[in-house]
Structure 1
Amino acid sequence: MDPKNTAFGRHETFPLRYGWLTKGYEALIDRPDIFAESDLAMVRLGVGRNMVSAILYWLQAARLIDYNNGEATPTALGEAILGEQGDRFLEDEATLWVIHWLIASNCRLATGFYWFFNRFALPRFREEELRASLADFVERELRIKRSASTLKSDTSTLLRMYAPGDPSDPGRGEDHLDTPMSQLRLIEQTGQGREFLSQRAPRPWLPPLVLHLALSECFADAAEGQPAIPIRDLLYGRDEGAAPGAVFRLSEDGLMSALNRVMHTWPGYYELRDTAGLHQLYRIRDIAAPEAILRDYYQQEVAA
């Protein structure tokens, strides 16, 4: 993580909402400079100026587009997910898990979200504890200055985006109903004031596709020629890079079960071995790029 290349608060305090990625993607396909023309974007997308900025941000944070010099260009991942052969309306729950991975592993454009899912370890916390921990991380590890209001906007937006709303808390209900990420139940509100849970669990419902895609990125990011990744690194992470076990909030047993489901679905790609007392996942043959994995998955879903 490059401290000079981080981003906080660029979502304008708006959590990702249903329809935003599809709307924004289709608009830029018609006109790549749409986001540089804010008045035109407001009319086309049917939202206010700040929401236009939020839509542009989430498209970038989810690694679905590149945005340079006022023009937006779909990435290979963006085309695979939101193109005509993908899951344009996010109807497949696996797509939501993929988007979650793409955001939570993006330390450059979604630094606060990356930090929470990869570095924040408390399973039970209050919002003020979360905010204080993020501020400490920014000051001590990144050694950069960010205002308290900016960091508060990140923690508040993260909780509104991922935690199902408490019916007794009218301030949270609307966001819960309108954000797809709350379906994943990676953060839950306890009902005891502003206390939250984000615990590791088996999560047998995690689609194998999602872990396979995450592993393809983990091996791509590994040192050249490295044939294996320790299970501990996949579970807790290393100094750099996202950890699937942390991002998906998997317990150790849950990660092992999920890996076995992946190896059953994609035989011949991975193998678990104990080498010199170290439990590792080996890559047996080259793994396709994430966009190719997605294209193949969606084609099979249509055929089925």
Structure 2
Amino acid sequence: MKLNKNKTAFGRHETFPLRYGWLTKGVEVIGKQKGIFQEREHETAMTELGLGRNMVNALHYWLHVTGLATFVGGDGSVSPLGKALLGKEGDPYLEDEATLWIVHWLIASNAEWATGFFWFFNHYSAPRFRDKDALQALEDFVAQELGLKRAHTTLKSDISTLLRMYSPVASRGGEEHLDSPLASLQLVNIDEGYGYNSLRTSRPFLPTVAMHFALQQRFAEHAGKHQNAKEAAIPVRDLLYGGSGWAAPGAIFRLNEDGLMTCLHQMMEDYPRMYELRDTAGVNQLYRLTPPQRPETVLANYYQHYKGEAA
């Protein structure tokens, strides 16, 4: 999703990082009672989910950010993406690490509903930083690049929540953030004696389906009115660093250049005749050779194969 200064959201998570089981619980309860996240149903939601009021609001937000559920007039429905990812044919218990990488992509690429998270993974390039450094950089970005005014406390809550959600050590610092699933990806770590680090590395164990999923979404959005054309291309540099407000898989997955290229080559082996790298007029570009797949189709094909191998 492309960054648009007229469509931003900060601090909507009630300061609660995403927890293990939350998304699956949310998908399950919406499937049974579509209006459970309406204000008048909060007591029921608290009982069904075993969560406090503010946590219910946070779960509502994370379901919305990830696109696993859609909400119209207060009523929720599980999206095709939600069914494919966390339904009985998907990975409801988050047993496959690829599922976490895909959830991470869904959050960090959502410039409209998780603007602070989008900024951190797509724009903030400091490999080592303190929380106050990241906060200052976010405040500068919001004021200077977006031309917006947002409360210091709101932006501070985004940085604090992000660090607790992604930092493995920080997530064990207290009961309230004991079990954040995205901490296991090690995209943010404690840097002893300094603060935090979020380093671009090769990440050889990044599941290629996560890159494939991200690229299918990226191509569909980037291509715009030409998305149904047989071929489309994105410069590799844009995939690594982003461009014109688009989410960059290389940045979101914290890949260095070698890591991105290795992942792309492995992905082309795993998904033959779907992509091709070409040097066009001196610009290295990734072409897609087929129309983009729907996200739920990517997931359905992957989990069918994954569960077949596990059987």
**What TM-score comes out, normalization by structure 1 length?**
0.95
Cross-structure match for 2:98: 94
CA distance in 2, matches of 1:191, 1:41: 40
Contact 2:217/2:292 (8 A) holds in 1:
no
Contact 1:9/1:151 (8 A) holds in 2:
yes
SS at match of 1:274: strand
Cross-structure match for 1:217: 217
SS at match of 2:196: strand
- Segments of structure 2 that go 5 or more residues without pairing to the other structure are none
User: What is the identity, as a one-letter code, of the residue corresponding to 1:4?
Assistant: N
Cross-structure match for 2:129: 125
1:44–1:176: structure 2 CA closer, same or farther, 3 Å change rule? closer
User: What is the identity, as a one-letter code, of the residue corresponding to 2:211?
Assistant: L
Contact 2:19/2:177 (8 A) holds in 1:
no
Cross-structure match for 2:184: 183
SS at match of 1:130: helix
SS at match of 1:228: strand
CA distance in 2, matches of 1:38, 1:4: 30
SS at match of 2:129: strand
Paired residues in the alignment total 300
Candidates 295, 299, 302, aligned match of 1:294: 299
Contact 1:64/1:79 (8 A) holds in 2:
yes
CA distance in 2, matches of 1:126, 1:111: 20
Q: How far does residue 165 in structure 1 lie from its aligned partner after superposition?
A: 1.3
CA distance in 2, matches of 1:12, 1:146: 16
Contact 2:128/2:198 (8 A) holds in 1:
yes
Q: How far does residue 294 in structure 1 lie from its aligned partner after superposition?
A: 0.2
Q: How far does residue 82 in structure 1 lie from its aligned partner after superposition?
A: 1.4
CA distance in 2, matches of 1:143, 1:264: 44
User: What is the identity, as a one-letter code, of the residue corresponding to 1:86?
Assistant: G
CA distance in 1, matches of 2:4, 2:294: 25
CA distance in 1, matches of 2:294, 2:220: 9
Contact 1:165/1:173 (8 A) holds in 2:
no
**What TM-score comes out, normalization by structure 2 length?**
0.93
Cross-structure match for 1:4: 6
User: What RMSD, in angstroms, separates the aligned Cα atoms of the two structures?
Assistant: 1.4
CA distance in 2, matches of 1:131, 1:97: 25
Candidates 73, 80, 83, aligned match of 1:76: 80
Contact 2:36/2:42 (8 A) holds in 1:
yes
- Segments of structure 1 that go 5 or more residues without pairing to the other structure are none
Question: What are the superposed Cα offsets for residues 46-65 of structure 1, whole Å, 9 maximum, x if unpaired?
Answer: 11100000111111111111
Q: How far does residue 141 in structure 1 lie from its aligned partner after superposition?
A: 1.4
Contact 2:128/2:191 (8 A) holds in 1:
no
SS at match of 1:3: coil
Say if 2:288 is the partner of 1:283. yes
Runs of 4+ in 1 over 6 A off after TM superposition: none
Q: How far does residue 267 in structure 1 lie from its aligned partner after superposition?
A: 0.6
Question: What are the superposed Cα offsets for residues 114-136 of structure 1, whole Å, 9 maximum, x if unpaired?
Answer: 00000111111110010001111
Q: Give the 5 Å matches for 1:229-268.
A: 229-268=234-273
Candidates 43, 55, 64, aligned match of 1:39: 43
Q: Give the 5 Å matches for 1:149-164.
A: 149-164=153-168
Contact 1:61/1:110 (8 A) holds in 2:
yes
User: What is the identity, as a one-letter code, of the residue corresponding to 1:292?
Assistant: T
CA distance in 1, matches of 2:205, 2:178: 22
| Identity fraction in percent | 52
CA distance in 2, matches of 1:175, 1:38: 21
Q: How far does residue 222 in structure 1 lie from its aligned partner after superposition?
A: 1.9
SS at match of 2:156: helix
User: What is the identity, as a one-letter code, of the residue corresponding to 1:254?
Assistant: G
1:166–1:242: structure 2 CA closer, same or farther, 3 Å change rule? closer
Cross-structure match for 1:200: 200
